[in-house]
């Protein structure tokens, strides 16, 4: 059985709209939700980047059932890991146990704003491992003092802790991140339907743990309009993680994708209003072994129509196909 989730994509909608959308997603019957955590949109045409944690706090109060999750937060540059631990504990309390803390090594696009530079990926993984250790230590209660290679913590303590700390998920894209996830995380996160990532996760201790995937879709009764919108706002998606994590600005993504054609996007992203096309897009994730799959509907203004269609047609079709 595969659970189907909804993505609050902060790059394409303002904060009040994002909360309205997740309320509608809960009403539509989505099994869970995830939230991106960006300082910049990928492309200027997306047009937004509100503070994800503020949005999540509002969403926790506006909803009652749907699980919430960061997808993902980088706990090493914009946010110190001690602050991430405090935010996650608070959100777990506000949501009454519905929150999961999704973490990753970040993207230059969002993390450069604090002026700390952008080190090589091996250093970013070192920082991530150290950050997770700090977060877990704080979740245990008591005072934490830490002097590490990348972070210092001076007698920190979380004064408001939930009975159960939020599970920690880790985004993966290769062997090293899979090793970290299998050893340190409660679940794995990926944006590509690659079975070898899950195999590596299992080899390093991930067997039996949840695995959460994500894919973009673009619903519209006018398929041509859907393709145009997907190309306008999401043509960066196929560049791959090695590229997406390094570029520093939306204009960089615009330049890097200037030769991507609408037909290229249409081949990679399900567009239109045929549920069978969306089922076919989800299938590689289900076949690879993902237990949860979050959909990203492209276009902030299109969310209400997509959510209404999902309740009536898409979710029933996906549940018929995947349980």
DSSP 3-state of 218 = strand
Which of 234, 227, 319 shows the shortest CA–CA distance to 282? Answer: 319
User: What is the C-alpha separation between 193 and 141, in angstroms, rounded?
Assistant: 37
What CA–CA distances, in Å, run from 220 to 57, 225, 230, 309?
Answer: 30, 7, 11, 10
- φ/ψ of residue 112, rounded to 5: -65, -15
Is 107 known to be catalytic?
Answer: yes
Active-site pick, 21, 38, 125, 231? 38
Active-site pick, 107, 111, 129, 292? 107
User: The tokens of 276 are what?
Assistant: 């069978």
**301 contacts 226 by C-beta, under 8 angstroms:** no
Q: Which neighbouring-strand residues pair with 35?
A: 8, 70
**278 contacts 320 by C-beta, under 8 angstroms:** no
Structure-token match 């897009």, residue found:
281
Active site (catalytic) residues: 38, 107
């Amino acid at each position: 059985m595969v659970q189907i989730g909804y993505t609050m994509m902060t790059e394409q909608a303002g904060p009040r709209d994002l909360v309205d959308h997740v309320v509608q997603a809960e009403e539509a019957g989505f099994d869970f939700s995830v939230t991106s955590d960006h300082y910049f949109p990928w492309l200027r045409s997306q047009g937004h980047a509100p503070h994800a944690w503020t949005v999540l706090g509002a969403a926790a109060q506006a909803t009652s059932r749907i699980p919430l999750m960061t997808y993902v937060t980088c706990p090493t540059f914009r946010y110190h890991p001690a602050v991430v631990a405090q935010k996650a504990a608070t959100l777990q309390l506000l949501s009454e146990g519905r929150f999961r803390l999704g973490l990753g090594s970040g993207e230059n696009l969002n993390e450069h704003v604090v002026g700390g530079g952008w080190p090589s990926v091996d250093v970013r993984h070192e920082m991530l491992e150290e950050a997770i250790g700090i977060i877990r230590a704080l979740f245990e209660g008591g005072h934490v003092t830490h002097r590490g290679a990348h972070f210092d913590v001076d007698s920190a303590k979380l004064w408001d802790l939930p009975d159960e700390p939020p599970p920690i998920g880790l985004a993966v894209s290769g062997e090293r991140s899979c090793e970290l996830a299998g050893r340190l995380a409660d679940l794995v996160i990926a944006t590509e339907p690659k079975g070898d990532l899950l195999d590596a996760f299992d080899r390093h201790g991930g067997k039996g743990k949840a695995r959460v995937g994500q894919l973009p879709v673009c619903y519209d009764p006018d398929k041509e309009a859907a393709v145009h919108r997907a190309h306008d706002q999401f043509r960066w998606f196929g560049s791959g993680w090695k590229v997406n994590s390094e570029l520093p600005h939306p204009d960089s993504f615009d330049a890097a994708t200037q030769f991507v054609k609408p037909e290229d996007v249409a081949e990679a992203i399900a567009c239109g209003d045929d549920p069978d096309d969306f089922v076919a897009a989800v299938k590689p994730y289900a076949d690879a072994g993902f237990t949860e799959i979050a959909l990203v509907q492209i276009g902030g203004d299109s969310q209400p129509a997509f959510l209404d269609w999902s309740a009536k047609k898409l979710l029933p079709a996906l549940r018929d196909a995947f349980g």
